[in-house]
Amino acid sequence: MSEHAEAILRPFRVDVPEAVLADLRERLTRTRWPDELPDAGWTRGVPLAYLKELADYWRTAYDWREHEASLNQIPQFTTTIDGANVHFLHVRSPEPDALPLIVTHGWPGSVVEFLDIIGPLTDPRRYGGDPADAFHLVVPSIPGFGFSGPAREAGWDVPRIARAWAELMRRLNYRRYGAQGGDWGFEIARELGIADAAHVAGVHLSTMLTPPSADTAEEAALTEDDKARLAQFARAEREMSGYEKVQETRPQTLSYALTDSPVGQLAWIVEKFKEWTDSTDLPEDAVSRDRLLTNVMLYWLTATAGSSAGLYYETFHSASQPHPNRSTTPTGVAVFAGDVALPVRRIAERDNHIVRWSEFDRGGHFAAMEEPDLFADDVRAFFHQLR
């Protein structure tokens, strides 16, 4: 394929055949359910009664066509970058001096995470904000995820994705832009800020991992709150990382179950929306049921359970790890209290040029879905100082 052909931006529209939806309903009807121990709750995974009820809602009440129509109200495109099909939302602000901003999801998220922040960020005037804080938004699906998937070749690790994002922004004629990300988007946005530092004005992160180091001086400087956060991180790694170990090592084996069984795919994702959000009893305490199912649908409809899990494998086995050096790109960190692991600022500052650090008493790992107002306000405030 020629360079010119690769650079073409192709308009994209979601159009799922009715036969695919009928097959989904049939599979949900014929689910073979496991047993469970009494009174286990969420301690061993997703409870049987909850998942049965949610699957029944998915089959009988959830209306994909409604959400497909909403997605199709957003301008979407695909393009070929480094041999991969890349799907992205692209919403230009009515404000001519808006700052371009590329926003990256993670796993098990998707572009669905950001639907509620598109309006406030692209058109703040309409939402009671300052038009000087407007953004042109670019929201790509990571290669191997959703409408960018499935992946057709190995090697799509974080550095390669960051290079693809830099190329995408170049194709859109955005010479100076910001980057935002959470979960894998945290790794990708940070890497983008290093790899394309000449063009990235700043990086805003709604997730940041700060595992402890062997530096005794650093350890001695930790506060009690810092130590509590590191202990929380250690508990999460010990208790909730089973999915990660499988996806790092045997994503293909996992993919057969999740691609064949919609209930399997649902359970694999909904568990994380319970554990990682600021929920109390159920995931719906933090994220609406329909929005959660729309996110799941992007995995189911595109059969990308395996290729999205492959990002863990690529990173675990990659010879080109993300830049280990300190990022000098201005960085803002938004910490949401309900996240699965909270970062420690003094550790974060070791490797990042942090110019804004915000702490919120609510919201969790999927911050743009859980608390879109807090998320949008913090993004605007961070980039306001960099325009």
Q: What are the angstrom distances between the C-alpha of 229 and each of 184, 190, 198, 225, 362?
A: 20, 22, 34, 6, 16
Active-site annotation holder among 62, 196, 365, 378 = 365
| CB atoms near residue 103 (< 10 Å) | 28
Ramachandran region of residue 70, left (φ > 0), alpha (ψ -120 to 50) or beta?
Answer: alpha
Q: Which two tokens stand for residue 320?
A: 């080109």
The 3-state DSSP class for residue 386 equals coil
Has 365 been annotated as catalytic? Answer: yes
Active-site annotation holder among 123, 312, 313, 377 = 312
- Cis before 96? omega within 30: no
- As a whole number of angstroms, the distance between CA 43 and CA 93 comes to 45
Has 281 been annotated as catalytic? Answer: no
Has 183 been annotated as catalytic? Answer: yes
Active-site annotation holder among 116, 123, 183, 339 = 183
Q: At what angle do helices 48-60 and 262-275 cross, to 10 degrees?
A: 120
Residues annotated as catalytic are 183, 312, 365
